[in-house]
Chain A
């Protein structure tokens, strides 16, 4: 062995090839099989993709680096089920390019935050967190009151469709109109949004200012959608709650 290496050290290309081989095996073994997951793990029937407004909000979530302090991945541990709700399923983030599972909880997990608070609470919390949670160390985001830039929304849906997320022609074509319509519950487009994205989509004036479509509208729409894209985590947990200690706190 030593002799072999003694000779290898004299051939630079030999070292290069050996390094590439040694450093590839692990990745291939662990990553390649995951691409068959699409076939092995079925997507729940009721799984819907994000609406255009929620996607715009997701983009703001990334832009502001919310993911640096918040995870969106409930682990299968008893205390997490009690604190946050059912553990996260792989199918829930199947349409997420990129995933936002996160790695640090300076603030709580947000995977199940949809529906937990009112829109008004979120609006006040985002503009000034300490006005609702005095001990909070979350940054304030007063600039979210500015108008939402929808310039790239169509391209966003189009690109996601290319990557396999089920957005059809109609959804792509109406992306900007749908974004506005989701914040106008009494407007004409509301029914069209429901028709395209399902009855459970939340259609409200999220930021309390019906005259404008703001970044706050988009971000709150996104937060309210988290954990509501499919019911599968709840049904699976109920079905198996006998196996899980303390599995009763997921309301």
Chain B
């Protein structure tokens, strides 16, 4: 990493690493014990590790002068590695917590292995760890290629990636120790949230500065999506996480929002985390890698404009569909439902645009498992957005809400859409960045593909059955006008579905493990770097 930096940049990076270690020491000194102190120690270790890594190459030859004539791919490589590490952590935690719903006593009687503490490890590990790293890594790649310019910073990409992963580690280790804001998908405590804001601002500035260097007059559609992801996630994160710390030296805070306002802010955040984290960013990925891999331009430029603005505008309204029949005012629920249904139009426009792009390349879809990952991603995107609009309709929601149907819906999106497009992108990028034509093993990609599809289908079908069964049992009345089933009876009925779900998840995880091994093998067989080059303006004579 450090060998890509000039001497001046190495000094700057060294300074930042020392500051990081100093921040860790401050945290330890202030907190003395508890979660914050542990996080301080982790930070010191990271800072010292970075200082050592920089020191090792400090006196090595500075990078060749014409590095401006190359794309900056080293950060992308780290980002992909982190994506894969978090994939195993996040999916592993997921399979484990799902197994606990079938074998509740399988876990030892120690607090940090308890279901409630591991569940956010799974969600944060996947959304932020796996998804976030994939987005940052691919955004660096896509931004440079579509702008035909090198990243506008040498140290800041590392700051973004390493800082972001520090946030993820703080978050996840915090939950294990029992520190949580308990806001779903925003459980990390206040100082982690503040730190993420710093990282995010750096990311945004880097993005804009690189765009400013572009040699293409137009900003390609993938970048609109990545920009929407960066901007709106910042907005959501800040508003939802506004909190007062109990003490400046403890990892505990109380959100400024309460009751019904808190619920609305939470699900405005929660659903738009789906929209702008798990959808917009990954659509950016789709709009770049699908055309690249299939060798076909995006089917309709017009449609991509309509769907981009439709998604950006409509999504923000729909969060309140998480609160049907609750104490939230009725008109807000109705707005949420209405916009959720309208959202189907831009969503299907995107999915349709992606699938139509493959017209004329179906033979490639058949032969190339990587392209097939992207195709399946687009199909699942279409299916889950349809399901989402359907579940947001009030009477449907009365049955599905609080049940495993929602869980199934989320996973048809995350496994079927998000993870599939990430794997498609990874299988395109890893060979390219290793100067190779193909992955080390194409058969392994094929295996991964079928494991992922089978795992997703088993998972989703099991959860449909589970959710609909729960919903029907909870509302069933007998002929005497009394409820037919106790709650526990519905719990008993879940056992086979929960077992199936665990099997589906395990298959999906097995595919991911194959992916990690294959990527490692490919990197070990690397034949150099990516061959493409940015456009560099020649100085006038």
Taking Cβ atoms with an 8 Å cutoff, the residues of A that contact B are 2, 5-6, 9-10, 12-13, 15-16, 19-20, 22-27, 29-31, 33-35, 37, 62-69, 71, 73, 75-77, 79, 82-83, 87-109, 129-130, 133, 135-143, 152, 155-156, 159-160, 162-165, 246
Say yes or no: B231 contacts A99, CB within 8 Å: no
Say yes or no: A100 contacts B258, CB within 8 Å: no
Q: Contacts of B319 on A, CB cut-off 8 Å?
A: 30
Q: Contacts of B184 on A, CB cut-off 8 Å?
A: 103
Bound complex: CA of A152 vs CA of B179, how far in Å? 13
Q: Contacts of A100 on B, CB cut-off 8 Å?
A: 182
Q: Contacts of A62 on B, CB cut-off 8 Å?
A: 180-182
Say yes or no: B231 contacts A16, CB within 8 Å: yes
Say yes or no: A140 contacts B109, CB within 8 Å: yes
Say yes or no: B483 contacts A79, CB within 8 Å: yes
Say yes or no: B406 contacts A104, CB within 8 Å: yes
Say yes or no: B316 contacts A26, CB within 8 Å: yes
Contact of B115 among A15, A35, A75, A139 (CB under 8 A): A139
Bound complex: CA of A65 vs CA of B182, how far in Å? 7
Known: A22-B312, A104-B407. A77 touches B263 (CB 8 A): no
Say yes or no: A103 contacts B325, CB within 8 Å: no
Is the CB of B219 closer than 8 A to any CB of chain A? yes
- Closest chain-A Cβ to B497's Cβ sits at a distance in Å of 12
Say yes or no: B254 contacts A159, CB within 8 Å: yes
Bound complex: CA of A70 vs CA of B505, how far in Å? 23
Say yes or no: A98 contacts B254, CB within 8 Å: yes
Say yes or no: B316 contacts A25, CB within 8 Å: yes
Known: A65-B120, A88-B327. A30 touches B100 (CB 8 A): no
Q: Contacts of A162 on B, CB cut-off 8 Å?
A: 244
**Cross-chain pair count, CB within 8 angstroms:** 254
Is the CB of B398 closer than 8 A to any CB of chain A? yes
Contact of A64 among B104, B117, B302, B328 (CB under 8 A): B117
Bound complex: CA of A240 vs CA of B504, how far in Å? 47
Q: Contacts of A109 on B, CB cut-off 8 Å?
A: 402
- Closest chain-A Cβ to B201's Cβ sits at a distance in Å of 13
Is the CB of B57 closer than 8 A to any CB of chain A? no
Q: How many residues of B contact A (CB 8 A)?
A: 101
- Chain B, 243-272, contact with A by CB distance < 8 Å: what is the 0/1 string? 011110010111111111111111010000
Please list 9 pairs of residues, one from A and one from B, whose beta carbons are closer than 8 Å in the complex, sorted by A's number.
A19-B228, A19-B312, A23-B315, A26-B339, A79-B474, A97-B262, A104-B402, A139-B100, A162-B244
Is the CB of B329 closer than 8 A to any CB of chain A? yes
Is the CB of B218 closer than 8 A to any CB of chain A? yes
- Closest chain-A Cβ to B483's Cβ sits at a distance in Å of 6
Say yes or no: B104 contacts A138, CB within 8 Å: yes
Q: Contacts of B317 on A, CB cut-off 8 Å?
A: 26, 29-30
Contact of A22 among B261, B309, B477 (CB under 8 A): B309
Contact of B219 among A12, A24, A34, A77 (CB under 8 A): A12
Say yes or no: B257 contacts A75, CB within 8 Å: no
Q: Contacts of B477 on A, CB cut-off 8 Å?
A: 79, 246
Say yes or no: B335 contacts A99, CB within 8 Å: no
Say yes or no: B488 contacts A152, CB within 8 Å: no
Bound complex: CA of A107 vs CA of B116, how far in Å? 13
Bound complex: CA of A20 vs CA of B223, how far in Å? 15
- Closest chain-B Cβ to A220's Cβ sits at a distance in Å of 17
Cβ < 8 Å to A, chain B residues 324-342: 324-329, 332, 335-336, 339
Per DSSP, are chain B's interface residues mostly helix, strand or loop, or mixed? helix
Besides A23-B313, A37-B329, A135-B488, 8 other A-B contacts (C-beta < 8 A): A6-B218, A19-B312, A82-B483, A83-B487, A97-B255, A139-B100, A155-B247, A156-B246
Say yes or no: A98 contacts B255, CB within 8 Å: yes
Contact of B492 among A104, A129, A135 (CB under 8 A): A135
Bound complex: CA of A33 vs CA of B325, how far in Å? 19
- Closest chain-B Cβ to A222's Cβ sits at a distance in Å of 14
Q: Contacts of A26 on B, CB cut-off 8 Å?
A: 313-318, 339
Say yes or no: B402 contacts A64, CB within 8 Å: no
User: Which residue on chain B has the smallest CB distance to residue A20?
Assistant: B231
User: Which residue on chain B has the smallest CB distance to residue A61?
Assistant: B182
- Closest chain-A Cβ to B228's Cβ sits at a distance in Å of 5
Is the CB of B111 closer than 8 A to any CB of chain A? yes
- Closest chain-B Cβ to A84's Cβ sits at a distance in Å of 10
Bound complex: CA of A67 vs CA of B110, how far in Å? 19
Is the CB of B443 closer than 8 A to any CB of chain A? no
Q: Contacts of A2 on B, CB cut-off 8 Å?
A: 302, 305
Bound complex: CA of A5 vs CA of B251, how far in Å? 46
- Closest chain-B Cβ to A134's Cβ sits at a distance in Å of 9
Say yes or no: B262 contacts A96, CB within 8 Å: yes
Say yes or no: A98 contacts B183, CB within 8 Å: yes
Say yes or no: A24 contacts B258, CB within 8 Å: no
Contact of B402 among A90, A103, A246 (CB under 8 A): A103
Q: Contacts of A23 on B, CB cut-off 8 Å?
A: 228, 231-232, 235, 276, 312-313, 315-316
Say yes or no: B258 contacts A93, CB within 8 Å: yes
Q: Which 8 A-B pairs have the closest CB atoms?
A: A65-B116, A26-B316, A26-B317, A75-B325, A93-B259, A62-B182, A90-B327, A105-B402
Contact of B491 among A137, A152, A155 (CB under 8 A): A137
Is the CB of B539 closer than 8 A to any CB of chain A? no
User: Which residue on chain B has the smallest CB distance to residue A2?
Assistant: B302
Say yes or no: A19 contacts B231, CB within 8 Å: yes
User: Which residue on chain B has the smallest CB distance to residue A62?
Assistant: B182
- Closest chain-B Cβ to A141's Cβ sits at a distance in Å of 7
Contact of A83 among B178, B218, B232, B474 (CB under 8 A): B474
Bound complex: CA of A96 vs CA of B109, how far in Å? 30
- Closest chain-A Cβ to B112's Cβ sits at a distance in Å of 10
Q: Contacts of B116 on A, CB cut-off 8 Å?
A: 64-69, 139
Bound complex: CA of A13 vs CA of B109, how far in Å? 54
Is the CB of B307 closer than 8 A to any CB of chain A? no
Known: A12-B219, A83-B483. A34 touches B260 (CB 8 A): yes
